[in-house]
Amino acid sequence: QVQLVESGGGLVESGGSLRLSCAASGLTFSTHAISWYRQAPGKEREVVAIISISGRTNYAESVKGRFTISRDNAKNTVDLQMNSLKGEDTAVYLCFASRWTESYWGQGTQVTVSS
């Protein structure tokens, strides 16, 4: 059974930092691209950052220069370092693993940025 478990969310002041982690089990982690999405209340789910199986990264324009995604295939984890957080970063952050037609979602972790 595939599981993606996010952790590291919480309440932080504007300008602060958080580090999210996604721990995967039940899949061949190194063969899956991993993405972080977020969904704020009343808004559509949006992709925040993606890391390919080769380690190539892409970011949403709104987080470029502030967020960094990284993966550790030995530990089956993907982290999202979030710096200079803003109120508009408040959302549930979800981990997403994909390979060809396979895809899996985590349950999400809440990030709240107070202004």
Q: Is 8 exposed, middle or buried (0-12, 13-18, 19+ CB in 10 A)?
A: middle
Rg, Å, the chain Cα set: 13
Q: How confident is the model at residue 9, as a pLDDT?
A: 98
Question: Tokens representing 59?
Answer: 């970011």
The pLDDT tens digits of the residues spanning 69-94 come to 999 999 999 999 999 999 999 999 99
Please check the confidence at residue 24 and state whether its pLDDT lies above 90.
yes
Predicted confidence band at 115 (pLDDT cuts at 50, 70, 90)? confident
Q: What percent of the chain has pLDDT over 90?
A: 97
| Measured distance CA(33)–CA(29) in Å, rounded | 8
Q: How confident is the model at residue 53, as a pLDDT?
A: 96
- Classify 13 as helix, strand or coil: strand
Mean pLDDT, residues 33-55: 97
